[in-house]
Amino acid sequence: MIQPVNQESPERDGAFVRAKSAFRNWVTQDGTPGPSGGGGFPAEAGRFHLIVALTCPWAHRTLIYLRLKRLESVVSLGVVHPQRTSAGWAFKPFLGSMADSVLDADLLSEYYYRADPNYKDRFTVPILWDKVRNTIVSNESADIIRMFNSAFDRLTSSRANYYPLALQNEIDEINEFVYHHLNNGVYRAGFARTQSAYESAYQDVFQALDLLESRLSRRRYLVGMEVTEADWRLFPTLIRFDPVYYSLFKCNRRRLVEYPSLWRYMRDLYHHPNVAETVNFEHIKQGYWRKSERNPTGIVPLGPEIILPPLCTQETFT
111 is catalytic: no
Pair 240, 291: CB distance under 8 Å: no
User: Is position 178 annotated in a ligand binding site?
Assistant: no
C-alpha to C-alpha distance for 163 and 276, rounded to whole angstroms:
21
247 is in an annotated binding site: no
Name the helix (H) or strand (E) containing 180.
Answer: none
140 annotated ligand binder? yes
Angle between helix axes 195-216 and 260-270 (nearest 10 degrees) is 80
Q: Is 125 annotated as a binding residue?
A: yes
Any binding-site annotation on 206? no
123 marked as binding residue: yes
DSSP, collapsed to helix, strand or coil, labels residue 282 as helix
> Which residue in the list 187, 198, 221, 288 is annotated as catalytic?
187
CB-based contact 268:311 (threshold 8 Å): yes
Nearest to 274, CA basis, from 87, 79, 106, 70: 70
Query: Is the preceding peptide bond at 126 cis, omega within 30 degrees of 0?
Result: yes
- CA distance readout (Å), 162 to 96, 158, 258, 305: 27, 11, 28, 31
Distance separating alpha carbons of residues 109 and 32, to the nearest angstrom: 28
* Closest listed residue to residue 98, CA positions, set 70, 63, 140, 133: 63
CA distance 80 to 99: 8
Work out whether strand 135-138 and strand 127-130 pair parallel, antiparallel, or are unpaired.
antiparallel
Tell me whether residue 312 is one of the annotated catalytic residues: no
Q: Is 293 annotated as a binding residue?
A: no
Q: Which residue type sits at 279?
A: V
In angstroms, how far is CA 25 from the centroid of its own chain?
Answer: 19
Q: Which is it for strands 48-52 and 135-138: parallel, antiparallel or unpaired? A: unpaired
Kind plus residue range of the DSSP H or E element containing 139? none
Catalytic residue list: 56, 187
Residue set of the binding site for glutathione: 89, 122-125, 140-141
Please state the residue numbers annotated as binding site. 89, 122-125, 140-141
